[in-house]
Amino acid sequence: MIPSIVIFLLAVAGSCSGFLDNTLPLYLFKNLDTKETSTVQTSLVADKVRRVPPYFSYKLERQYVVGVGGNINLTCVAVGYPMPRVFWKKTDLSESYVVLDDPSTAPIGKNVLTLTHVESTENFTCVAVSALGNIEATTTVIAKELPPSPLNIVVSSVTSESVVISWKPPKYNEAINKFIDMGVIAWFELFFIIHRSDKEDAALFTKGEAGEDDSERYSESRSSRGKTVETLENSLLIDGLVPFQTYEFTIRSAGPVGVGLESLPVEAQTMASKPASAPVSPQARSLNRDSILVKWGPCEQPNGLITGYKVYYTNDVATTPLRQWKQHDAKSDEFMTTINGLEPDSRYFVKVVAHNSEGDSPLSELVTVSTRQGIPGQPPMLKIKALDSRRMQLTWDTPLHSSPVVGYTVRYNTSDGEKELTLTSPHEKHVVTGLHPDKYYYFRVAAYSDRGQGEFTEPMISKTIASIPLSSPTILSGAATSSRSVEIRWKAPEQKKLNGVLTAYRISFFRLEDSTKPLDDSEESDEYDEEMKDSIEKISVVVPSDVTSYVLSELLPYSTYEITVAASTMDGYGPESAIRVVKTLEDAGSEEESTAPDYEIH
């Protein structure tokens, strides 16, 4: 009986070899517990192998809906023993079919059919075949028209930062379940073009999901999802826009089968608001003993048409309320003006304001100028860069001048007061050296000509880079607390020599080889025999910066140790402290060496 079963199985397998070239062989499923004794054992294994006809483990839907021109993946998964091959075929209206895969080389177990640019409704059948038979499952891919664009798009309720867009749902034989506004907040995709006088930008703007704070603005992204609106909603508030900008909006609707085409664009311009930024780069210089020249650049955020500029000036202190300053008006297309009738040999403070139909801009930076003929103005665009812990690089632009600039004067604060450097060449760059690490410095620069020195810039503050400490901690005491431990106490380095924020301490120690010699006068001493320095391994332990004492444990009895402490900033460790020598107490009960502690060895 058993041999006949084996012959039957082999015959069945052979009859389907055209489909099963890559099916897993039966011997991979044999009973591994069966003893290998005779030929009959092979028959018993074959008798015990479980035969499973193919079946679908992932069922296809009866139909799938896709928009005309869309794409879809159909996945078919079948299992059994032996594992079946899976292939697809397409059935037309005449019930004839076209095999889409070669059954003899079709994938085993799973086959994904990718359909692109679907234009019509068609039936597709998945076939799974093995030595034990074949099964089929059929599905219909239905191609439907995408929804048309919304109608009658209207922009209303326009403010300087928001608009309301409304529309009429299009006629469509399927329910429209959402609208995609190509240019909106949160989950709405918003595609719009900002028309500007100097450039034209096109971008997809999205806003964060609902629940985030109101300070969010649109951020450029072409990969963010849009936010869907329920069918009954046919209007949308779009906020966070830029004042006095023209936007171009398009909207598209989405139905069950996908997203339709964009609507025709609709333009809207937000209203103006007062300028959000001040005139840039203000400068001034003396023309003669009673007049000055003032120059500036346009606002970066005018938020409307600039209608003019106001130049405020005073020869009182700079903190005088603005209402007490004198005012000089300039036209909207002027970025330079002359102010006459000033006091000779006087210092004046100047600020510039732009204004449009909605109000004034913020005040510009303060400019200082003297009515002394021939002296240069303040150097503009002073910038400071820390090069390292002891050097700062200063750069600036050439100031307004009538007489040639022959040099510059640099002033900066030190621990001894203010220090002045005279640069005898008209180079707009200088590196200040000899500074202290991790310290704040303020710098001022003035230009001078053959007629005299101009006004200094407003102070610019910067900080040098931190460095390692310049001094070490001071060990206050070191004493043996037992035959195997020593307590060490210390205090931090001087604050002015830390060169940064203290981050840690490192305690280093090692045992002197000749530890039997007693220390002079006490158990500890700062002086020791140089011959005892034949050390073995130096060991370190790191503790937090708020720790100023530590017990070294797991030491050897009646042994002499050399101990130092170093402080660290973010840049590394400074010098080690003076050496403290401590000897552990005698332990007559044991002469065995202790297990090495978990310290860093180096």
Q: For the chain, which residues make up each domain, given as ranges?
A: 1-144, 151-269, 280-370, 383-463, 474-601
Residue with tokens 């059948």: 125
Q: Which is nearest to 524 in space by CA: 575, 566, 476, 491?
A: 476
133: left (phi over 0), alpha (psi -120 to 50) or beta: left
What pLDDT digit, counting tens, does each position of 381-429 carry? 999 999 988 999 999 999 999 889 999 999 999 877 899 999 999 999 9
Residue 571: predicted pLDDT: 84
Write down the mean pLDDT value for the chain. Answer: 79
User: What does the alpha-carbon distance between residue 96 and residue 122 come to, in Å, rounded to a whole number?
Assistant: 12
Are the C-beta atoms of 435 and 425 separated by less than 8 Å?
no
The whole-number average pLDDT for the span 26-33 is: 37
Task: Say whether pLDDT at 73 is over 70.
Answer: yes
Q: Topology of domain 280-370, per CATH?
A: Immunoglobulin-like (2.60.40)
What type of residue is 430?
Answer: H
Residue 221: predicted pLDDT: 35
The whole-model pTM stands at 0.61
Q: How would CATH label the architecture of 383-463? A: Sandwich (2.60)
Domains 151-269 and 383-463 share a fold: yes
Q: How would CATH label the architecture of 151-269? A: Sandwich (2.60)
Percent of the chain with pLDDT strictly greater than 90: 53
Task: Say whether pLDDT at 217 is over 70.
Answer: no
Residue 358: predicted pLDDT: 95
Specify the higher pLDDT residue, 269 or 30.
Answer: 269
Q: Which pLDDT band, with edges at 50, 70 and 90, does 237 fall under?
A: confident
Q: Topology of domain 1-144, per CATH?
A: Immunoglobulin-like (2.60.40)
List strand residue ranges (DSSP E) for 457-595, in order. Answer: 460-463, 474-482, 485-491, 504-511, 524-525, 539-544, 549-552, 560-569, 572-576, 580-583
What pLDDT digit, counting tens, does each position of 337-378 carry? 999 999 999 999 999 999 999 999 999 999 999 999 999 999
Tokens representing residue 466 in the block:
């931190």
* Cβ atoms within 10 Å of 396's Cβ, excluding its own: 22
Residue 499: predicted pLDDT: 84
Residue 88: predicted pLDDT: 94
CATH class of 474-601: mainly beta
Residue with tokens 């003899």: 104
